[in-house]
Amino acid sequence: MHSHVQADIDHTVFDELSQEIRLVLGPNGEVLNLNHCGKRIFGEKTFSFFHYFEEEDRQQVFQFLKMLTSSQKEDERHSTFSFSRNNLRCDMTFKGKWDGHFIYLIGKMIEQKAEHIAQRNAGFNHLLSQNTNIFLNFLETKLDLAVILLREDDEIQFCNDRFGKYLQLEAQHITGSSVHALQTKHPLKDTLIEIVEEIRSTGLVNERYYYEDDALYQFQGLYFPEDEGILLLVHDRSYQQRFENLLIYKQQMESVSQLAAGVAHELRNPLSVIRGFLQLSSLTNDWTKYYNTILSELTRMNDIIEDFLSVSRKKIKKQKQLPHAIFQSLVYIIRSECLLHNITFEYHIEKTDAYVDVNEAMIKQVLLNLLRNTIEVYEEKKDNRRFVLHTKVMENRHYQIVIQDFGKGMEKEVLEQLGKPFFTTKEKGNGIGIPLCKKIVENHEGEFFVESELEKGTKITFTLPLTVDEGE
């Protein structure tokens, strides 16, 4: 007989060998747990599940998770999305289940495209090898993009003139320095360091925006796992930002003119109260009896006017603010506008001690644009005319805003085209409303989703990241 050495069986070995991706998500799509294969593909650092997929697929991902969590039964659902990281591009299929608390997903790669990328790039590599000097001259002096190449220790191996111009430094004085030790106070440096640290911790192809006043810079980064190098591209999109600011301000002014009638109606009520009590005071010759009531109505009028003016001010800078205060300040205006158009306004605004770093005027403009859409939707509808605004804190990470109407809704084909600029189904529409709202939210590192069902209405959900830092 053969003797056997007693040893414990290590079941984690199966997890290491498995090609199956397993994830556990919170109800808002936040990744709470990844298995070994998931970490190998997505990286150690966890994000929102939407973050892992191509931007054009994120609406589909949202709908998939929405169907899972809204299902009355604990049934399984399947869907397929496109994933891209470094030279790996593939389609992934997922099946999932919702238990009332968490979303459980199992996924696998069904089509790897790395070989196709290599074949496609072979011709380009040959062309590049024959024209190296021409290419380098173009890269260093002509290209309208900043290009930076970092070694594994974050030392700058190469940068072009455009990068030096952005940071107000001479390019030849930058090469050889650590990105952390650049002798500049330009705020772009902080964003540069953040995206480098993020790429090193995740290994993902990352994108980030630096936004300040009329300046907008787009950062894109690529990680090379073989030598742990990083390629960064920085694009100055400030001209685009200035145009968008003008477009937003134009919409603000349109909103101000449209809201003016509702605000005037809202002011008439306290004016009527004040007038009545002044007449009573004159008749009774007692000017102290109704003093506090008159004063409170004057305070109410001042609040209405201040909220109205906050919509019309041209604010460009971001500031840390309490999110519930921003949306609460619009309640007077939304309510008066809804009353004017015979629409019932329902709202619940959740308070929080955390802050959002936002351009207040732009975030308010998003909500007012969506209100305007609702008013237009109800032009031909006589019943169930409701505008619903609900906000809540999601796991102390995001502030979620949900806007819902109960109009005619949209067909699937229209919904798929909705985010594209200049697409509209309105006779007098210009098609920039929803795309601009989505762009504003994404510029604040938030997410924007639209759900709609024909004859049932439309629901728009957007989120803003929370921070515990105090407002300035």
pLDDT tens digits, residue range 112-164?
554 554 555 565 566 556 666 776 677 667 777 888 888 889 888 888 888 88
Nearest 5°: CA angle at 48, between 47 and 54?
100
Domain borders along the chain are 12-113, 131-236, 241-465
Task: Give the whole-angstrom CA distance, residue 399 versus residue 395.
Answer: 9
Q: What is the DSSP letter of 463?
A: E
Q: What are phi and psi of 326, to 5 degrees?
A: -60, -50
CATH entry 3.30.565.10 includes domain 241-465: yes
Please tell me if the domain spanning 131-236 has the same topology as the one spanning 241-465. Answer: no
211: phi > 0 → left, psi -120 to 50 → alpha, else beta; which?
A: beta
Token pair 């540069």 is at which residue? Answer: 192
Q: Are 304 and 263 in contact (CB under 8 A)?
A: yes
Query: In the prediction, which pLDDT does 69 show?
Result: 77
Question: Quick one: fold of 131-236?
Answer: Beta-Lactamase (3.30.450)
Query: In the prediction, which pLDDT does 85 show?
Result: 59
What's the predicted TM-score (pTM) here? 0.45
Query: Which burial class, exposed, middle or buried, applies to 25 when counting CB atoms under 10 A from its CB (0-12, 13-18, 19+)?
Result: buried
Per the structure block, which two tokens stand in for 204? 């993902």
407: phi > 0 → left, psi -120 to 50 → alpha, else beta; which?
A: beta
Q: Are 141 and 160 in contact (CB under 8 A)?
A: yes
> Chain-wide mean pLDDT for the chain?
76
Domain 12-113 CATH class label: alpha beta
Task: Give the whole-angstrom CA distance, residue 283 versus residue 6.
Answer: 103
Q: Model confidence over 203-227: pLDDT tens digits?
A: 776 677 776 666 778 888 888 877 8
Query: In the prediction, which pLDDT does 422 show?
Result: 39
Least confident of 141-145, 238-242, 391-395: 238-242
Q: What is the mean pLDDT of residues 88-110?
A: 80
Q: Are 145 and 233 in contact (CB under 8 A)?
A: yes
Q: Model confidence over 288-339: pLDDT tens digits?
A: 777 777 887 787 777 777 666 655 555 557 789 999 999 998 887 788 788 8
Query: In the prediction, which pLDDT does 400 show?
Result: 95
Token pair 């694009």 is at which residue? Answer: 235
Token pair 């911790």 is at which residue? Answer: 201
